[in-house]
Amino acid sequence: MMKIPTRLIPVTGACVALAILAFVAVGCESAPRGRPIETSPIETGAGSVTSARVALKGRWDLVSFDVFPPGRPPINVPAQGTLLYDDFGNLDMRLKVPDPSVAERLQLAGIPLKDGEIATSGRTAIDLQKRTLTYIMEGSKGLVASSASAAPLAADRPRHWEYADGVLTLTTKNNDGQPLSVGRWKKAE
């Protein structure tokens, strides 16, 4: 006759604790939070950040672009360009400058071109009181808005914006408030 062992697995305190832990983990379901997290309502009316984002959102085609380098004659830039502003505050601007002499003047004014193109992009923050868009630089602890750079399209220069008669005007200014660049854009259809 065959003898059947009464103990196949040695039972220790660790085995019992592991079995209880597995039972508790499998048998527990998360419960809904006892009280809701209170937040303030999102403003959506005229003069709100939401309404500004809605007005700016979309694809825009360049109407005109002018640069006013300090101590030099203004540069009217004959260019083709697009500006994209999305739901998340990302701004992407691209201008093709086909005339090499204009491209050279822009570079002397501190506006870098790559293959005849001015390109700038990044995430922006809206300041409703100042009516500006300011790039949020990756890795910065806050908004960069010192305007310390001399370049007219430097990322740390806020873009002052106005919207009137279907035209969006973006202006960068020097530290004295004088325009360094003015771009006019019409919403693409």
Residue 185: beta bridge partners? 62, 168
CA distances from 117 to 79, 120, 131, 158, 168 (A): 9, 10, 27, 21, 21
Residue-range domains of the chain with CATH: 60-187 (2.40.128)
Helix (H, G, I), strand (E, B) or coil at 87: coil
Give the tokens for residue 92: 């992407």
Q: What spatial distance separates the first Cα and last Cα of the chain, rounded to whole Å?
A: 92
Other CB atoms within a 10 A radius of the CB of residue 179 amount to 15
DSSP states of 98-151: --HHHHHHHHHTT---BTTEEEEEEEEEEETTTTEEEE--TT-SS------S-S
Asked whether the predicted pLDDT for residue 148 surpasses 80, the reply is no
Query: Residue 118 class from Cβ within 10 Å (0-12 exposed, 13-18 middle, 19+ buried)?
Result: buried
- The model's confidence at residue 48, banded by pLDDT at 50, 70 and 90, is confident
Distance separating alpha carbons of residues 93 and 148, to the nearest angstrom: 22
Buried b (16+ CB within 10 A) or exposed e, 53-62: beebeeebeb
Percent of the chain with pLDDT over 70: 69
| Structural contact between residues 93 and 121, judged by C-beta atoms closer than 8 angstroms | yes
The answer to whether the pTM exceeds 0.85 is no
Distance separating alpha carbons of residues 155 and 138, to the nearest angstrom: 11
Distance separating alpha carbons of residues 67 and 121, to the nearest angstrom: 19
Percent of the chain with pLDDT over 90: 40
For range 93-112, the mean pLDDT: 92
Tell me the per-residue pLDDT of 11-45, one tens digit each, with 9 for 90 and over: 566 656 666 666 555 555 656 667 777 765 555 55
Query: What pLDDT is stored for residue 140 in this prediction?
Result: 46
Buried b (16+ CB within 10 A) or exposed e, 80-109: ebebebeeebebebbbebeeeebbebbeeb
29/148: higher pLDDT? 29
